[in-house]
Structure 1
Amino acid sequence: MENIRLIASDMDHTLLTEAGQLPPHFGRTLDALEAAGIQFAAASGRPLYTLQDVFGERSDQLALICDNGGVVSYRGTIIHKQLMAAHDYQRIARFVQEHTDGLPLICGIEHAVGARKDQAFDAVYREFYHQLIFVDDLPAWSGEADKVTIYLPHNNAQQVFDEAIAPEFGADFTCAVAGPVWIDITPKHINKAKGMSLVGRKMGISSEQMMAFGDNFNDKEMLAYVAHSYLVANHNPSMAGAAKYQAPSNEEYGVQQVIAKVLATRNH
């Protein structure tokens, strides 16, 4: 662990508790990492503006891999932005509305965009997308966007993914189950590993000097990319074997426990 220079963690069900909270005193952990010369990265399906809200004034000392790699910010500066073509996200939104029981959200760079008929789910959406608008005709909206996320209120994300999303879009986009009620669709070759490689290039380090934590399929490429990979104990069972090591669950603050061990190696 002595050579670690970059530690990345997924947010939901990994770093955050089930109540959506950071581990206690995590700000102190971030300060300790900074003092040790170790860069922390939040690698999430959440957008930049939401991650900035979560970490507040410390966000400018972090790497933020947002929208599964669609936007990457390094210490306050956006170093990568991969937009989707309007005709692509419009087609995806229309397909989801017409052929699934899912509800599409177009993830704009400045705000997420939902269908006005789905406004009853505002509170669910806004937990992850702090900037949110609703429009009458979602597949007609156009603007800068880097992802489509699909909310599955019937808890059937894996089934909808297998039966509809993967067959329709898997060849042309990166599609991943992001939780029991979420599916993410991003441009081809965009994922959290791509984000890690961009941050590594900025820092002048290799994947051998990286550690990452995750729990679900949108973490899979990142966990394969880094030398020190961890699944939290509460990971999706289908992800078994996707990482070299296991950390305690998010409710036990497993990410913070492992980081404490990394920091301990610096204090010897």
Structure 2
Amino acid sequence: MTEIPFKAVAVDMDGTFEDNNKHFDHQRFEKILTKLRQHHIHFIVSSGRPLSRLRKDFYDFLDRIDIIADNGSILTQDNNIISRHVFTYKTGINLINFIQQNYPTTEIAASGLARAYIDKKASIKFKNSMHFFYPNVIEVNNLIKLPTSDNLTKLTLNCDAQLASELEKMFNQNSGEPIHCTTSGFDNIDVMPTRVNKGQGLKYFLRYFNVKPEELIAFGDGMNDKEMIELAGFSYAMKNGDPKLKAIAKYEAPSNNNMGVLQVLEEYLK
């Protein structure tokens, strides 16, 4: 019998594990997850989605998977939060104010530990999208006056993804608490505390599991998966993925609409 060459699996969600209709084959995944666990292989969901959304997505599997949410801001094991990275309250508010002043057409979703927040005046399209991704979202009159009891883990911005580097550079010039901007390529930017990314979250889990990076297989489609793909010994960019990520990954998986992640894992598990 050929030995499976990896001990941990990491998958992005949008454009990777799920199809364009936000679905994945639960029965097929159940079979794969069962086989992975029989071989003592860990399955890690590594997504820009908030924890509240991922808990809904994997409701039937939460006791058998690990989660990296908000692009690395929150880590869970056995459905319990084991690590979190947040902005200080002052920096979170300053960041929102900076974006509103310098990029006034940008719509903002602020993800906190307690819940997420969007402006009541946001467009219907943005509201509908954020209500899907943030099941616990509430609409507020002013994002500058968020509850002091809640710390922000991430901002999601609806704007040109090409602004990510510019925004990060401009804010960090005058901030004692630097930020990191990344994009999944869907006309949005995710803003997190500096040095927070999926790769750092995976390093935490790999150390805990005593698994080497070369024993990790990872799947992604956008540049917010860059650090994760660079880390993994077996790195796959989706057929539908960003060409920049394809240039970094060692292999290509079939399209997300063809359940490419499940196809590749099934081949290894035969």
Deviates more, 1:121-130 or 1:168-177: 168-177
2:202 to 196, 199, 222: 196
Kindly state the Cα deviation for residue 180 of structure 1 after the two structures are TM-superposed. Answer: 2.2
1:115 to 116, 119, 125: 119
1:135-174 to 2 correspondence within 5 Å? 135-141=140-146, 142=148, 143-152=150-159, 156-158=160-162, 160-162=163-165, 164-169=166-171, 172-174=178-180
Residue deviations 1:60-88 (CA, integer Å, cap 9, x gap): 21010000110001222222111111122
Q: Partner of 2:223 in structure 1?
A: 217
Kindly state the Cα deviation for residue 89 of structure 1 after the two structures are TM-superposed. Answer: 1.7
Contact 2:119 2:142 in 1 (8 A): yes
**Which stretches in structure 1 are left out of the alignment for 5+ residues?**
none
Moved over 6 A (4+): none
Deviates more, 1:236-245 or 1:9-18: 236-245
Kindly state the Cα deviation for residue 167 of structure 1 after the two structures are TM-superposed. Answer: 2.9
How many residues align? The count is 259
Q: Partner of 2:189 in structure 1?
A: 183
Q: Partner of 1:10 in structure 2?
A: 12
Correspondence 1:65 to 2:72: no
Contact 2:98 2:171 in 1 (8 A): no
User: For 1:61, what is the secondary structure of its paired residue?
Assistant: coil
Amino acid at match of 1:131: N
Kindly state the Cα deviation for residue 170 of structure 1 after the two structures are TM-superposed. Answer: 6.0
Amino acid at match of 1:45: G
Deviates more, 1:167-176 or 1:16-25: 167-176
For the residues of structure 2 that align with 1:7 and 1:70, how far apart are their CA atoms? 19
Give % identity: 29
**Which stretches in structure 2 are left out of the alignment for 5+ residues?**
none
1:41-120 to 2 correspondence within 5 Å? 41-100=44-103, 101-118=105-122, 120=124
For the residues of structure 2 that align with 1:21 and 1:170, how far apart are their CA atoms? 37
Kindly state the Cα deviation for residue 239 of structure 1 after the two structures are TM-superposed. Answer: 2.5
Q: Partner of 1:205 in structure 2?
A: 211
